[in-house]
């Protein structure tokens, strides 16, 4: 029955040759000689250093038919080009395994390559713009600091030409996205942020070039290459941050979809085992699940007995025993021993896929904050363009020599820099400050909603309570001396040390163990432990009947363990979930700020209500499925409330994605952490209270910034329209206003 025997004669990696799998991680092309060349992406496991990459690369290239192989040590990925007539992907996987590493098809390779390309291009544009801007600033300094007549005309021209040369890469390369964006919105007859930006850049460049090469001509003598380059690099910096946030969101979705095993062991009618792609599974297939693997589909256990960890899917904190005939859920993990299951539902029908789909939907429905900003920006941008055009028309009548400069001044002085930096800079500083308090934010726009939270939904198991059990009471049942209870406790802990059952783990954590030499220790699944001490007494730890007790505890909450000696009960240990130490204080602080707190739990309703009453919460609902929780959050949102959610398990993930702002516990499921806006790294609920205080301060600073930027525009636009503000002053004013905004925001990180 052991797997290597059952698999003898078959190649375990053959499932990757299945066309269903192959197309996901392989791209096809034809070379000059008409051969079909495939390029496959593999994820490599077990890599630690650059040397490993060399070893894997060499062993891949030794496979006949492999044309080229490149292995990245940083991303743990390999890209292999191979001839479809000479080899198969399974040979590649076997070559990597023969070298001592693991390999699996990399299904997300294409999206990742695209993200990498995008992020490199954005960084490259920003660096070119920022670095050239610094150099241009240096060349422009003499003109700013010299007294009239001090700078010789030919030196001024030389500096201008240098600036012009350095502006070329900024204009043609770095600013290209603005021109492309402006062209797109022009083609769609809409106005976007890019339009005035592109016009401002183009006008400033044309006019400055004219001034540099024909001083005193149509465009005067002043050049403003420095303002232009600085302006472009500020804007590109903002876009880079935006792109990073988007990429992170994409990665989290990919992680969520890779939790199920890719290959499974299917039992054939003759009792042999074949390894096939999980996508090949159908209803009625018999599948063997080894210990430690996730169940690939929903189904029924038909052979063997085990325990399954369903905590990530149902919120049930204890391993669930699975015997013949019990149902198992895709995505839960087989903990104890290998079993055989019959597949009942696969693919999109499984509960796991349903949860992933809920999460995806919640994510795309999340109200876009940016949409409202765009609605507001459009009239502003039209006003700027119209003002600039009107000023240009007016001045071409009053004084044609200054008309171009007034237009450039208006376009630059109203540049949305201070306005567009007002919020992101404060949010970024707030995220940094929260990071030092133990709250890692994944999405910056969460700060705003965190400050406004009116309703908090909180999960029970793993969030309000710790994931482990705590002993709350010890009842002696043999009428013995209560003073000797600690000796009984030590004996129980010592016997419990022989088992890994969650209650045994809790028992040995609760009491100091005595050094007792046990003989003939035996564990019977579902009943308990048995052992004999040096005096020949048979001690039993476990369920009531196992220890010889006749109590009925059906009405009592929590979990119970009995210790018995020679068939007579000695003591009963009552266990319950341990509430986190700082939970009561944190919840009181939030309630004092006017936040309504509701408990949502997948656990028994009575238990949830009891905990909520103990903590003074407004309401508690138990036996909630992920869909119920999602519905509760949607109802609150429909009432117009700003909803926060704190949770930890996979079952919370859709709710975390739907809530306006969500925090996950640091020790929670990976998927919950990736769906949440932020992570409480050290699992302290108090950190959430502090994060909220920082968020409220951040919103005050955003309002100050916006007021300042508006005041600046209100003061400077009339000056520019009146022709009293030369473009250099406009550029300086733009930089200074941005600096004021950023400095104000940085107060948050102190």
Q: Which residues bind other proteins (CB under 8 A)?
A: 48, 72, 74-75, 116, 119-120, 123-124, 127-128, 131-132, 135, 138-139, 152, 155, 158-159, 162, 165-166, 169
Least separation, in Å, of the C-beta of 164 and other proteins?
A: 10
* 170 vs 720, beta carbon nearer other proteins: 170
* 131 vs 518, beta carbon nearer other proteins: 131
* 159 vs 691, beta carbon nearer other proteins: 159
Least separation, in Å, of the C-beta of 41 and other proteins?
A: 16
* 150 vs 534, beta carbon nearer other proteins: 150
* 240 vs 521, beta carbon nearer other proteins: 240
Least separation, in Å, of the C-beta of 107 and other proteins?
A: 20
* 247 vs 402, beta carbon nearer other proteins: 247
Residues 534 and 515: beta-carbon distance below 8 Å? no
Residue 574 known to be catalytic: no
CA 93 and chain centroid, separation: 30
C-alpha angle with apex 367: 361 to 369, nearest 5 degrees? 140
CA 6 and chain centroid, separation: 40
Least separation, in Å, of the C-beta of 138 and other proteins?
A: 8
How far is 655 from 362, CA to CA, in rounded Å? 8
C-alpha angle with apex 273: 270 to 278, nearest 5 degrees? 125
3 state DSSP class of 565? strand
* 152 vs 386, beta carbon nearer other proteins: 152
In three state form, how does the secondary structure of 226-288 look?
A: HHHHHHHHHHHHHHHHHHHHHHHHHHHHHHHHCCCCCEEEEECCCCCEEEEEHHHCCCCCEEE
Least separation, in Å, of the C-beta of 440 and other proteins?
A: 9
At a CB cut-off of 8 Å and minimum separation 6, what does 643 contact?
453, 454, 455, 456, 457, 633, 636, 637, 659, 660, 661
* 221 vs 247, beta carbon nearer other proteins: 247
How far is 698 from 439, CA to CA, in rounded Å? 15
* Residue with the two structure tokens 């045994």: 504
Least separation, in Å, of the C-beta of 610 and other proteins?
A: 34
First to last CA, the chain: 63
Residues 208 and 228: beta-carbon distance below 8 Å? yes
Residues 423 and 744: beta-carbon distance below 8 Å? no
* 165 vs 634, beta carbon nearer other proteins: 165
* 176 vs 368, beta carbon nearer other proteins: 176
CA quadruple 109, 111, 113, 119: dihedral sign: negative
Q: What is the DSSP letter of 530?
A: E
* 48 vs 283, beta carbon nearer other proteins: 48
The two three-digit tokens of residue 162, written as one number: 């240098």
Among 93, 86, 88, 83, CA closest to 42: 93
3 state DSSP class of 552? coil
- What are the residue ranges of helices labelled H in 497-620? 502-510, 544-547, 583-592, 605-615
Long-range contacts of 158-165 (CB under 8 A, 24+ apart): 160/211, 160/212, 160/223, 160/225, 161/212, 161/213, 163/136, 163/139, 163/212, 163/223, 163/225, 163/226, 164/208, 164/209, 164/212, 164/213, 164/223, 164/225
Least separation, in Å, of the C-beta of 124 and other proteins?
A: 6
Burial 313-324 (b: 16+ CB within 10 A, else e): bbbbbbbbebee
Q: What is the DSSP letter of 149?
A: T
Question: From edge to edge, which strands make up the β-sheet containing 306-309?
Answer: 320-322, 306-309, 333-334
**What's phi and psi for 219, nearest 5 deg?**
-100, 15
Query: Which among 459, 576, 652, 660 is annotated as catalytic?
Result: 459
How far is 39 from 60, CA to CA, in rounded Å? 13
Least separation, in Å, of the C-beta of 420 and other proteins?
A: 23
Least separation, in Å, of the C-beta of 136 and other proteins?
A: 10
* 122 vs 611, beta carbon nearer other proteins: 122
Helix (H) or strand (E) holding 131: helix 109-145
Among 539, 561, 541, CA closest to 551: 561
* 244 vs 452, beta carbon nearer other proteins: 244
The two three-digit tokens of residue 568, written as one number: 């007579």
Residues 529 and 542: beta-carbon distance below 8 Å? yes
Concatenated DSSP letters of 174-198: ITHHHHHHHHHHHHTT---THHHHH
Residues 657 and 671: beta-carbon distance below 8 Å? no
Least separation, in Å, of the C-beta of 50 and other proteins?
A: 12
Least separation, in Å, of the C-beta of 271 and other proteins?
A: 37
Least separation, in Å, of the C-beta of 244 and other proteins?
A: 9
Count CA atoms within 13 Å of residue 527 on its CB side. 12
Burial environment of residue 582 by CB neighbours within 10 A (0 to 12, 13 to 18, 19 or more): middle
Least separation, in Å, of the C-beta of 139 and other proteins?
A: 7
Residues belonging to the active site: 459
């Amino acid at each position: 029955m052991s797997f290597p025997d059952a698999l003898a004669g078959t190649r375990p990696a053959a499932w990757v040759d299945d066309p269903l799998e192959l197309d996901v991680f392989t791209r096809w092309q034809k070379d000059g000689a008409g051969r079909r060349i495939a390029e496959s992406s593999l994820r490599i496991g077990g890599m630690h250093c650059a040397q490993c990459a060399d070893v894997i690369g060499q062993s891949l290239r030794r496979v006949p038919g492999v044309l080229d192989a490149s292995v990245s040590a940083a991303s743990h990925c390999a890209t292999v080009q191979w001839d479809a007539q000479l080899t198969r992907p399974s040979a590649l996987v076997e070559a990597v395994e023969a070298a001592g590493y693991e390999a699996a098809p990399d299904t997300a390779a294409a999206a990742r390559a695209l993200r990498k390309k995008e992020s490199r291009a954005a960084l490259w544009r920003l660096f070119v713009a920022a670095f050239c801007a610094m150099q241009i600033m240096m060349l422009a300094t003499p003109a700013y600091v010299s007294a009239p007549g001090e700078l010789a005309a030919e030196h001024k021209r030389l500096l201008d030409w240098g600036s012009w040369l350095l502006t070329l890469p900024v204009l043609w390369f770095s600013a290209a996205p603005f021109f492309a964006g402006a062209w797109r919105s022009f083609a769609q007859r809409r106005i976007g942020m890019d339009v005035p930006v592109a016009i401002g850049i183009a006008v400033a460049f044309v006019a400055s070039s004219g001034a540099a090469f024909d001083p005193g001509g149509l465009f005067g003598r002043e050049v403003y290459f420095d303002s232009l380059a600085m302006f472009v690099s500020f804007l590109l910096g903002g876009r880079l941050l935006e792109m990073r946030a988007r990429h992170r969101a994409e990665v989290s979705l990919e992680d969520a979809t890779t939790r199920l095993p890719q290959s499974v062991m299917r039992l054939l009618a003759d009792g042999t085992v074949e390894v096939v792609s999980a996508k090949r599974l159908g209803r009625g297939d018999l599948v063997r699940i080894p210990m430690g693997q996730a169940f690939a589909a929903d189904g029924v256990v038909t052979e063997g007995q085990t325990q399954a960890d369903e905590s990530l899917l149902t919120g049930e904190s204890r391993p669930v025993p699975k015997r013949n005939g019990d149902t198992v859920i895709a995505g839960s993990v087989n903990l104890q021993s290998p079993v055989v299951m019959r597949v009942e539902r696969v693919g999109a029908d499984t509960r796991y896929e349903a949860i992933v789909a809920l999460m995806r939907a919640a994510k795309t429905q999340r109200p876009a904050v940016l949409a409202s900003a765009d609605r507001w920006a459009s009239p502003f941008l039209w006003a700027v363009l119209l003002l600039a055009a009107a000023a240009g028309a007016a001045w071409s009548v009053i004084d044609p020599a200054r008309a171009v400069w007034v237009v450039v001044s208006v376009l630059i002085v109203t540049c949305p820099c201070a306005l567009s930096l007002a919020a992101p800079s404060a949010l970024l500083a707030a995220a940094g400050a929260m990071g030092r308090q133990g709250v890692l934010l994944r999405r910056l726009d969460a700060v705003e909603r965190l400050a406004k939270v009116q309703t908090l939904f909180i999960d029970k198991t793993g969030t309000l309570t710790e994931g482990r059990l705590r002993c709350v009471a010890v009842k002696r049942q043999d009428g013995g001396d209560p003073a000797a209870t600690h000796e009984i406790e030590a004996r129980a802990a010592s016997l419990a040390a022989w088992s890994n059952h969650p209650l045994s783990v809790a028992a040995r954590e609760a009491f100091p163990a005595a050094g007792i030499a046990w003989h003939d220790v035996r564990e019977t699944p579902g009943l308990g432990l048995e052992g004999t001490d040096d005096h020949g007494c048979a001690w039993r730890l476990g369920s009531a009947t196992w220890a010889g007790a006749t109590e009925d505890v059906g009405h009592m909450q929590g979990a119970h363990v009995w210790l018995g000696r020679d068939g007579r009960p000695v003591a009963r240990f009552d266990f319950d979930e341990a509430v986190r130490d700082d939970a009561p204080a944190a919840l009181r602080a939030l309630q004092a700020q006017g936040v309504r707190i509701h408990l949502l739990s997948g656990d028994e309703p009575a238990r949830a209500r009891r905990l909520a009453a103990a903590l003074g919460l407004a309401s508690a609902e138990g036996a909630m499925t992920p869909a119920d929780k999602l519905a509760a959050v949607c109802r609150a949102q429909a009432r117009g409330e700003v909803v926060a959610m704190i949770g930890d398990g996979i079952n919370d993930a859709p709710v975390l994605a739907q809530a306006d702002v969500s925090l996950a516990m640091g020790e929670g499921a990976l998927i919950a952490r990736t769906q949440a806006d932020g992570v409480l790294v050290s699992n302290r609920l108090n950190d959430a209270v502090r994060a909220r205080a920082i968020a409220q301060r951040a919103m005050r600073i955003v309002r100050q910034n916006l007021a300042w930027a508006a005041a600046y525009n209100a003061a400077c636009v009339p000056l520019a329209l009146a022709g009293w503000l030369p473009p250099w002053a406009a550029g300086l004013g733009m930089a200074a206003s941005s600096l004021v905004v950023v400095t104000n925001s940085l107060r948050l990180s102190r």
